[in-house]
Amino acid sequence: MSEAQRNLPPVTVETRPFWEACRDGRLLLQQCRGCGHRQFYPRLVCSQCLGRELDWIEACGRGQVESFTIMRQAISPAYRNDLPYVVAIIRLAEGPTMLSNVIDCDPEALQIGMDVELRWATVTDEITLPKFGPA
């Protein structure tokens, strides 16, 4: 019987710089040259003004828990050994929000507004996931 596979984000033309930076331990966001809007997830256009001139900026890796849920049932067999785990919306210090996991913390101790900082989880040679833990 083969081991269940985890769902991993695809590496595309617009996301490749992001994933390469994650592998190097850097969290990148996009910033529009036209309006200054900062965004995550990586896109080909600015989500604010639809401008196409986007620069990559490095995030500081800090933020706050804006919302979260504690997963107590696995969405697939591949996640069974992780239970319980936290899926959270993190408001980055730079402004954008990011869906991620909060780790290194008792899920029952997690609170809205809790300060968190970046942690890295290497999953494959190509994918290192940004996760967060208590600051």
pLDDT by residue, tens only, the chain of 135 residues: 345 688 889 999 999 999 999 999 999 999 999 999 999 999 999 999 999 999 999 999 999 999 999 999 998 898 999 999 999 999 999 999 999 999 999 999 999 999 999 999 999 998 999 999 999
Q: How far apart are the first and last CA of the chain?
A: 41
d(CA 58, CA 55): 10
Global pTM value = 0.91
Residue 68 in contact with residue 88, Cβ under 8 Å? Answer: yes
Paired residues of 37 in beta bridges: none
**Following CA atoms 97, 98, 101, 104 in sequence, which dihedral angle do they give, to the nearest 10 degrees?**
-60
In the chain, what are the domain boundaries?
16-134
Phi and psi for 122 in degrees, rounded to 5? -80, 125
